[in-house]
Structure 1
Amino acid sequence: MTFTKHLMGAAATIALTAGMAQADAHAANPGLIIDLGGKFDKSFNESAYNGAQRWAEETGADYAETELANEAQREQTMRRMAERGANPVVVLGFANASTLEVVAPDYPETEFVIVDMVVDQPNVKSIVFSEHEGSYLVGMMAAMASESGTVSFVGGMDVPLISKFACGYAQGAKAVNPDINVIVNMTGTTPAAWNDPVKGAELTRSQISQGSDVVFAAAGGTGIGVLQAAADEGILSIGVDSNQNYLHPGSVLTSMVKRVDNAVYDSFTQAMNDALEPGIMVMGLENEGVGYAMDDNNADLVTAEMQAAVDAAKQQIIAGEIEVHDYLSDNSCPAF
């Protein structure tokens, strides 16, 4: 396992093992464990990495980082990070939850943060997102932009969390057009589904053959293939997690941003200020945890009417006037 450090050059390993053992001006010596797919997936992992980098640049402090290469490394990596003195240890991805349930009790003095799942341990902070709400908004945009009356969704691994995205998307689309056809495909049933852009492109072309003219990808690195195929075939796409509008300017309608960067940045900052608390934090529309991306790359694709409708729905969701069904609440979706 490669254990990398940032901003401290050749002294990195020494700083990690020795510097963390002594008190200094900072209350935190954070560690970040990046999930499968790599830190430059242009999506979930990269957003988290950007949050860590922002914290390091603003504070001048340092953090430890490692990337998972396979499933078998999950437990070993968490234990190594804790034993080397990282605190807090921020773990990315729902797939790490069962491992953290086992590891966290063995390191009661270490604070852990898991992003995207809930782990009920006294030294764990769990950060989850209202993905269904953000997906509802981009579903509305997809329906308003569609000329064919068919839109689609490509998910990564077929797990309930990704169905949460798909369900919110379908609800938003049908709120605009009750008769719209929403095609949903998942890439696979193993973690490889997060990093298969070729399969993502194949699924997108299949959806296009069925009439889809707007496709939403929630598939990690696989989504890069979805967005590329959409651009190649002349239809619109919707990115996820990070703002992916820049990948194909004029082709990406918007991105359903999920502020994983803020989750990591805030966790590091709270730990530095000795203010990190265990428990569950939900990041949704109200606290800007999810939303949709607007910039110069998609300004010509989103009309003022579209944006006004989506912004109105956003406020209605926040106020409780629109209730977006959460697939995770009962593993069902009223829009399908």
Structure 2
Amino acid sequence: MRRVAKLSAACIATAALAMTATACGSTSSDNGNDSSSTGGGKGVKIGLAYDVGGRGDRSFNDSAARGADKAKTEFGGSIKELTAKSSDTPADREQRLSDLAQAGYNPIIAVGYTYAPAVDKVAKQFPKTSFGLIDAVVPGKNVDSITFTEEQGSYLAGVAAALKTKKDHVGFIGGVDSPLIKKFEAGYVQGVKDTNSKIKVDTQYLSHGSDTSGFASPDKGKQAAQGMLDNGADVVYSAAGSSGNGAIEAVNGVKGAWAIGVDSDQYQIPGLAKYKNSILTSMVKNVDVGVYDFVKSVKDGKPLTGTNTYSLEKEGVSLSTSGGFIDDIKAKLDAAKKKIVDGSVKVKTTP
């Protein structure tokens, strides 16, 4: 469904959106990557507003893309993708969502917590359009707030790091020092310390405050990881979007060191294939499941609303086993998971 408007206005909005895509067709997130995939006139019209990095980040945004792609394959229709820039203002994010709504896309998924203020405002302006928001909570009769227990999955990553380090020294790299990414840090550090309190944990953030460039700067990720490795760490976990790709590259250059990936199973990502033997595991965050569930609910005429949390118990987060590098510690990881699920271990959400 679309907001009630004159047909001519909707056509103008669609045309304007198409012109934007033509003008901003760069693959660089800083230049705005706008692309579309069409599947005919029937089915669902999915609007995807990515965070910085966009489709192709091999991490967070790609997970959201997989969910939309699955829905499009099953239900038909089309996907329109717009990507945030590191220089975005709140008004830019609002405009991106408004453009999708005016062009008749429904549902619209805002990928990332930075869209929360924009969703809060734009959803009220388009009450007949369903909005999905990843990683933040916004009240609204037409908003599905899709959240995850990142701290729980990161706890298991910390347990794995503690069991695999040979130097009793590990690292954590965060993209931006936001409350969301601090959940990753908190869980990881707790998992490490609960396993072996003597292990040293280095922590570094790549950008701060409203600067989101830390999610799309592989060079900064590589530099941060290299610094940790030079300082003696031999396991590095990155929660930093495409910046984590740089960290994985740095780890690959050090014999005996391990990287822990995030969001997607990064061992399986073709673009990281030459580094895969250095990827111990990945803390998989099933954004694709949340996106798919939301799109399906809209397609079925019963849009999900409120806050829907994908926990460790519900397999919303997990550790990947690709490569078989954690097979030898599976029993200990399963025991740690059981303690979280049954409540005997409470995982912190702040460092």
**Given the alignment of the two structures, is residue 171 of structure 1 paired with residue 202 of structure 2, yes or no?**
no
Matches within 5 A, 1:165-314: 165-189=184-208, 190-234=211-255, 235-246=257-268, 247=272, 248-295=275-322, 298-299=323-324, 301-304=325-328, 306-314=329-337
Instruction: Kindly indicate whether the alpha-carbon contact (under 8 Å) linking 2:46 and 2:68 is maintained by their aligned counterparts in 1.
Output: no
Deviations 1:214-255 (A, max 9, x none): 000100010000000000122100000000124222211000
Instruction: Kindly indicate whether the alpha-carbon contact (under 8 Å) linking 2:294 and 2:304 is maintained by their aligned counterparts in 1.
Output: no
Matches within 5 A, 1:115-134: 115-134=134-153
- What is the one-letter code of the residue matched to 1:45? N
Q: Which ranges of 4 or more aligned residues in structure 1 deviate by more than 3 Å?
A: none
Distance 2:301 2:78 in 1: 16
Q: CA shift at 1:58, angstroms?
A: 2.5
**Equivalent residue of 2:276, what SS?**
coil
Q: CA shift at 1:142, angstroms?
A: 0.3
**Given the alignment of the two structures, is residue 87 of structure 1 paired with residue 106 of structure 2, yes or no?**
yes
Any gaps of 5 or more consecutive residues in structure 2?
Answer: 1-19, 22-33
Corresponding residue number in structure 1 for 2:346? 323
Distance 2:177 2:95 in 1: 26
Distance 1:294 1:7 in 2: 34
> Percent identity of the aligned residues?
36
Corresponding residue number in structure 2 for 1:71? 88
Instruction: Kindly indicate whether the alpha-carbon contact (under 8 Å) linking 2:202 and 2:228 is maintained by their aligned counterparts in 1.
Output: yes
Any gaps of 5 or more consecutive residues in structure 1?
Answer: 9-14, 328-332
**Equivalent residue of 1:80, what SS?**
helix
Q: CA shift at 1:135, angstroms?
A: 0.1
Q: CA shift at 1:308, angstroms?
A: 0.9
Corresponding residue number in structure 2 for 1:330? none
Q: CA RMSD in A?
A: 1.5
Residue number among 129, 148, 151 corresponding to 1:110 in the alignment: 129
Distance 1:237 1:259 in 2: 20
Q: CA shift at 1:303, angstroms?
A: 3.9
Distance 2:48 2:182 in 1: 27
Corresponding residue number in structure 2 for 1:154? 173
